[in-house]
Structure 1
Amino acid sequence: MLKVKTPRNHRVRRELEKRAPKLVENGKKTLILHGTKTSGVLNEVLKEIYHLKKGKAVKFSRKNENIKPFENGGETSLEFFSMKTDCSIFVYGSHSKKRPDNLVIGRTYDHHIYDLVEVGVENFKPMESFKYDKKLAPLIGSKPMIAFVGEGFENVEELKHFKEVLLDLLRGEVVENLNLVGLDRVYVCTAISSNRVFLSHCGLRLKKSGTKVPRMELVEVGPSMDLVVRRHRLPNDSLKKAAMKTARDQPKKKVKNVGDDAVEGKIGKIYIPDQKVGEMAVIDKSKGVKRERREAKLKKGDHEHVSKKQKEDST
């Protein structure tokens, strides 16, 4: 028999409840970490990604030697960090002569590596290099729009997979309704070739259009970069099947003696036991009956009084 450990205090219990499976999952957090060797450009890229994901990201500053996502056994430390930080997306930066300014973006399921995309960063421009009105600066944590331009995202397998990973990385919280005033940023992803994507970050400027829907203008606020797809690994079939499994809607608890009608709406039934009228004691509390009984008693008392007098006279 395996021993089941239970949390000893309320803080641990609350943390476990947050990480437990839910019908409606929480927003995905991003883990950002460095490899054994990184370049100045790559450090700036990781810093900019952390700034864009601030509030939903965890950044490690130390170098990690044992992380090699595409090699067998090289993902153990990465999965451990994912479990400790409760992050389901990670961005890993490394630099080498063979693969300069290398970024590995991946997703995890149940803290196991789900899929991976390796890209190279070229023509990087940080936020500081763009000049614009600071009033147009997007707010931290705001919901972005994402535009994918180019047929490559629909025809090329590598770019199709890269599109899915970018959506999970950039979209933030999943919401049903959104106020138009709250839209202040757009990520524009343009497929330049079969393995190159230009990523730019733009702010929104709302102008009058003569209708209820305002006219929108894009102002580039940075960062921007070219991402060259180098390697990618699709998820395992068994892991993909487990990850795509959806929970059935919980059936509504049946309420007794309550039904729905198309015309009358909600209808309820009331249980009334059988009434045995013959066995019921009828209590009559009407005032007229009481008065008749009282008068009858008085008459009876007078009659008895008269009969006693007659008996006394006869004697």
Structure 2
Amino acid sequence: MMEIRTPKTHKAKRVLEKRAPKLVENGKKTLILHGTKTSATLSSVLMELYRLKKGGAIKYSRRNENIRPFESGGETSLEFFSQKTDCSIFAYGSHTKKRPDNLVLGRMYDHHVYDLIEVGIDNFKSLLSFSYDKKIAPHEGSKPFICFTGEGFENVPELKQLKEVLTDLFRGEVVDNLNLTGLDRAYICSAISPTKVFLTHCAIKLKKSGTIVPRIELVEVGPSMDLVIRRNRLPNEGLRKEAMKSSKDKPKKKVKNVDQDDVLGKRGRIFIPEQEVGKTPLPDKSKGVKRERREGKLKKKNKEEGSASKKHKESE
């Protein structure tokens, strides 16, 4: 029988609670792995992906001989690493004579392989091969624009799947509001043919336009590459329906002291501290009282002056 181990420390409990299912899930992390053999080009591609996803990616540099994503039983090690690192997207690079510079992108559901797409890397240009003003370089962790151009992303099933995988790979955390000045990068994906996509990374430069909305210029900062689609595997219909389920109970912010009544509608409670009227000092703004005080002070002063002059005469 399998031994069920329960967390014994508060840290372990917090880790398990963080990985537990939620109504609104956290941002997807990326797992980057090397195959039995990788070329220099493919190693550079995996390193560039790690740099672009820094803060939301985990990279292993050791070779993995047992990972065969498209073969039966070859995804066991991949699912183990996914559960260990809590990553729901992976990028696996391998290089063989039959499939040179091969990159497999895939998504996980419940730490099991959900779908796969295999692409070949052509015309790769590293980030270091581009010259530009370093002041406009994108900041780490910033939200990107993702642009897909071409009818193939709507008509060709392989390109539609690649679009979904690339969107999950690059979008990062899902947020409701964005600051325009924080958008400093864009990923441009152009469908050249039904099996080929040009991918490039650009920096966004904001310039004055004479209006509230600034004028946007794109400066290519790299990396850039051609993705040639080779193999893909779609999820079965049952697994897709299971993964696409969403809870009807949306998390609501609890408002204090507000109730909902079927008859009276929305009601609020106001708490007023107990007032002690007898002990509360009242402001004294009456002019008559002020005049009496001034007259009393003046009489007292005259009396003191009179007694002082009388004493002086007696002494003489």
TM-score between the two structures when normalised by the length of structure 1? 0.80
* 1:59-88 deviations in Å (ceiling 9; x for gaps): 001000000000000000000000000000
Residue 145, structure 1, aligned to residue 183, structure 2: no
Residues 76/210 of structure 1: CA separation in 2 closer, same or farther (3 Å cut): same
The 5 A counterparts of 1:1-315 are 5-249=5-249, 258-260=259-261, 265-266=266-267
Q: How far has the Cα of 1:239 moved from its partner?
A: 1.6
Separation (CA, whole Å) in 2 of partners of 1:194 and 1:159: 7
Contact 1:261-1:267 within 8 A present in 2 as well: no
Residues 265/50 of structure 1: CA separation in 2 closer, same or farther (3 Å cut): same
Q: How far has the Cα of 1:6 moved from its partner?
A: 2.3
Q: How far has the Cα of 1:251 moved from its partner?
A: 9.1
Counterpart of 1:39, as a letter, is S
Contact 2:202-2:218 within 8 A present in 1 as well: yes
Q: How far has the Cα of 1:259 moved from its partner?
A: 3.9
Residues 13/227 of structure 1: CA separation in 2 closer, same or farther (3 Å cut): same
Contact 2:106-2:165 within 8 A present in 1 as well: yes
Contact 1:48-1:223 within 8 A present in 2 as well: yes
Separation (CA, whole Å) in 2 of partners of 1:133 and 1:227: 28
**Which is further off, 7-16 or 195-204?**
7-16
Counterpart of 1:188, as a letter, is I
Runs of 5+ unmatched residues, structure 1: 269-315
Separation (CA, whole Å) in 2 of partners of 1:71 and 1:25: 30
**Which residue number in structure 1 is paired with residue 289 of structure 2?**
none
Separation (CA, whole Å) in 2 of partners of 1:130 and 1:262: 67
Separation (CA, whole Å) in 2 of partners of 1:45 and 1:257: 55
Q: How far has the Cα of 1:262 moved from its partner?
A: 10
Residues 39/214 of structure 1: CA separation in 2 closer, same or farther (3 Å cut): same
Q: How far has the Cα of 1:237 moved from its partner?
A: 1.9
Contact 2:204-2:218 within 8 A present in 1 as well: yes
Counterpart of 1:266, as a letter, is R
SS in 2 for 1:192: strand
**Which residue number in structure 2 is paired with residue 309 of structure 1?**
none
SS in 2 for 1:51: helix
Residues 258/18 of structure 1: CA separation in 2 closer, same or farther (3 Å cut): closer
* 1:12-60 deviations in Å (ceiling 9; x for gaps): 1111001000011011000000000000000000000000000000000
Contact 1:188-1:199 within 8 A present in 2 as well: yes
Separation (CA, whole Å) in 2 of partners of 1:208 and 1:162: 36
* 1:69-121 deviations in Å (ceiling 9; x for gaps): 00000000000000000000000000011100000000000000000000000
Separation (CA, whole Å) in 1 of partners of 2:258 and 2:87: 47
**Which is further off, 1-10 or 138-147?**
1-10
SS in 1 for 2:193: coil
Contact 1:30-1:58 within 8 A present in 2 as well: yes
SS in 2 for 1:135: helix
Q: How far has the Cα of 1:264 moved from its partner?
A: 8.1
Residues 258/225 of structure 1: CA separation in 2 closer, same or farther (3 Å cut): closer
Counterpart of 2:48, as a letter, is E
Separation (CA, whole Å) in 2 of partners of 1:262 and 1:189: 55
Separation (CA, whole Å) in 1 of partners of 2:184 and 2:141: 11
Contact 2:209-2:215 within 8 A present in 1 as well: yes
Please tell me whether Structure 1 or Structure 2 has the larger radius of gyration of its CA atoms.
1
Counterpart of 1:232, as a letter, is N
Counterpart of 2:74, as a letter, is G
Contact 1:200-1:222 within 8 A present in 2 as well: yes
Q: How far has the Cα of 1:5 moved from its partner?
A: 3.6
Contact 1:189-1:200 within 8 A present in 2 as well: yes
Contact 2:258-2:266 within 8 A present in 1 as well: no
Contact 1:199-1:226 within 8 A present in 2 as well: yes
**Where has structure 1 moved over 6 Å in runs of 4 or more?**
261-264
Separation (CA, whole Å) in 2 of partners of 1:267 and 1:132: 58
Q: Over aligned residue pairs, what C-alpha RMSD do you find?
A: 2.3
SS in 1 for 2:21: coil
Runs of 5+ unmatched residues, structure 2: 270-316
Using the aligned pairs only, state the percent identity.
69
Counterpart of 2:97, as a letter, is K
